[in-house]
Amino acid sequence: MNRRISPFGIVIAVLLVIGILASIRSFLSELLLAVLVFGGVFLLWKYPPARWRKPRARRPTSAFSRPKQKDRRKRVPFKVIQGSKRDDDDEPDKPHMYH
């Protein structure tokens, strides 16, 4: 496999670099202005001034001094409901019913 760059590719790459450099040179002030605006917006977004920051939510002090409410649910013991499962006391010679 030969990885040599063709002469046509070299010419296209050189023309591309020349075009980019020429456009940057002619539009340098506009490019600089765009970079400054976006950089300023990014810095203000990342590090906002103290007057723009949202205040942190604070809990009222009365919430800590209030006694906890008692649990109003009834304490009912578990109740066993008889199902259709075969017990060990059933007749051992009775065949199992499988579906």
Q: Where in the chain are the domains?
A: 7-53
Determine the pLDDT at residue 93.
Answer: 64
Rg (CA), the chain: 40
Determine the pLDDT at residue 15.
Answer: 95
Determine the pLDDT at residue 39.
Answer: 93
| Residues of the chain below pLDDT 50 | none
Determine the pLDDT at residue 25.
Answer: 80
Q: How far is CA 21 from CA 18, 24, 37, 75, in A?
A: 5, 5, 22, 81
Determine the pLDDT at residue 12.
Answer: 93
